[in-house]
Structure 1
């Protein structure tokens, strides 16, 4: 697969790293992002695990340079609503060069990946939302909402959870699945008025009585945080004003022996709410000249901590594969296992009072048993197939 043109729909992590991988394999990629440049970097923060960092290096990129605006987070603590620590677990071992799992603002990651693409001469156009495509013997023609068209030898549909490319490849196919959790996040704007564990490299997560909470302290002292309130039905756009949403989150954590409420009070803007979704098995990943990547093919819950890393792994596999069928064989089993893993992790955040009591009692024992013979998550962090 060399010296051919690739049209990439989507300029997020999946689309940009796919462009890097295909350029490395000899293709001429061009990225088309649906949103305007200043609208495509919305969101809070994410974690790129060691398997994603290793994949970045395979693309010819230096993870330390791409993730320079982030900070290392190789360990994770789990606590209950009373503040009792239940476990400390590693987020994968370091890569051979010493790189560890890293937390970074979504906007900073996007910007770094785009700089990497620009250095290689890969064009990125904004305001280009894919509406359709037509496959022909000599190539594929892609249609955009603004009335323009582009032709290429390959279309990579990296257009996210609600992918139009996926819909066209899978008429009547699976839709995103709501997982019963909302998502919020933010960054503190002033000091938090309660004591915080500021140990470097540590992320903290806690099962509050009414919602799940996570936070980490950045090198500049600001606290980066997220919250997962359980809710049976999805949130609708405009359902909360920003003030109502922030107040609702504070109320959820009042009474917990956690810094959650104080952290949110120290934050002027609580981002969200967003629905937490994943994507069940997608029957068709590719046709002769069209292929899916990232969330368009296999959206994983944020509870997996693997969304960005799976997208980067996809890119490596796509660039290495001699055919689209080979790419699917390399990726499908692994990513579907990660989707299931993320769903299980999210389910543990919605336990009721009885379930929470059982979890708090059993969690330390279960974790000791699981880690007795090594890291049970090693298959994820080491990039292994099931």
Structure 2
């Protein structure tokens, strides 16, 4: 391994995971985050069996599970009557004594990964962006927005779907695409019967995800004409209005969605780079290269796995370029499956394509995710 230092641009899920993984390989890591308060956007997140395995590999599983609600089962309800069509458990990839899946508040996930990054020796700097990068072939000279500079063996762009790092190194790469859907999320008390994820499909699409003993988040998908921001004022009523033909289980909770400030709604915007994921000593991970919609609940999981694989390849390769090529090759089958099929499900929900068997696709996805990364 020739890499001894790395700069990670972006202090979110992917960047923090990559930081922990790189430190485990003995690489010095600086992480910069543009948000000076390191605030977290979102309500909760479901993380499937491959993510629980990754948390174990990162050495943060105990802390992670102490902040989350672990479960094994997924229950599918279909149609306006909310008829249970299927209930199944998924494999336990982090050992028989740990859950298969977990729901966790996004702020708690950020806390767990942030603590893990710092405990492993990552240097985290907030309120910073990159104003210039000069890759001279032997290293990358970086100038930051506060006027300071640094030199690194590699730079990792983990700065999301609207990545400035991607724009800097791959200006001709595809731009993010709005799919036509929004996802709406809201926290509510968890009923005892929601002891795993509950999915509601057709014509209403939404679900319940447990996050703590006394907390779950609910979500629903809607079609919207554009991706313009929705005002906070009136957003609770707007979310309720989007619940068209809800099954009785979801209809029963709609009167609890009352706090505008508690609604988190965002447009679904995707990007997938079929071509290069790197240039020279600068590489992209996570949503910067393969942002997906939430239909397969694997977007964050793919970013987390990216960091582990990148660190593994850097430890084995003779050069960064060789490591980046091997990283892309290993990651492509999994991330392509998630990115492309998540969009397919959304297109079917919007009537853009003919219906297909989502259950069969879900089985294929689980089969792929249980494989080693």
Residue of structure 2 equivalent to 1:296: 288
What is the deviation of 1:29?
Answer: 0.7
Give distance in 2, aligned partners of 1:203 and 1:26: 38
* CA separation of 1:208 and 1:260: change in aligned 2, threshold 3 A: farther
What is the deviation of 1:286?
Answer: 1.2
Give distance in 1, aligned partners of 2:291 and 2:263: 21
Give distance in 2, aligned partners of 1:96 and 1:222: 24
Tell whether the 8 Å contact from 2:60 to 2:112 is kept in structure 1 after alignment. Answer: no
Residue of structure 2 equivalent to 1:227: 220
Residue of structure 2 equivalent to 1:54: 53
- Structure 1: where are the runs of 5+ without partners? none
* CA separation of 1:294 and 1:309: change in aligned 2, threshold 3 A: same
What is the deviation of 1:123?
Answer: 1.1
1:279 aligns to 2:271 (yes or no): yes
User: 58, 69, 72: which is aligned to 1:71?
Assistant: 69
- The DSSP-based 3-state class of the residue aligned with 1:115 is helix
1:382 aligns to 2:343 (yes or no): no
* CA separation of 1:21 and 1:72: change in aligned 2, threshold 3 A: same
Give distance in 2, aligned partners of 1:330 and 1:377: 16
Q: Please identify runs of 4+ aligned residues in structure 1 that moved more than 4 A.
A: none
Residue of structure 1 equivalent to 2:232: 242
Deviation per CA, 1:56-85: give whole Å up to 9, x if none: 3233x1423223211023222222222222
Deviation per CA, 1:301-348: give whole Å up to 9, x if none: 111211121112111111111222211121123211221121122233
Aligned residues: 360
Give distance in 2, aligned partners of 1:102 and 1:308: 13
What is the deviation of 1:87?
Answer: 2.4
1:336 aligns to 2:336 (yes or no): yes
What is the deviation of 1:163?
Answer: 0.6
Q: What TM-score comes out, normalization by structure 1 length? A: 0.85
User: 186, 191, 197: which is aligned to 1:203?
Assistant: 197
Give distance in 2, aligned partners of 1:5 and 1:106: 29
* CA separation of 1:259 and 1:200: change in aligned 2, threshold 3 A: closer
Q: What TM-score comes out, normalization by structure 2 length? A: 0.87
* CA separation of 1:309 and 1:334: change in aligned 2, threshold 3 A: same
* CA separation of 1:279 and 1:75: change in aligned 2, threshold 3 A: same
* CA separation of 1:168 and 1:126: change in aligned 2, threshold 3 A: same
Tell whether the 8 Å contact from 1:10 to 1:33 is kept in structure 2 after alignment. Answer: yes
1:105 aligns to 2:98 (yes or no): no
- The DSSP-based 3-state class of the residue aligned with 2:253 is helix
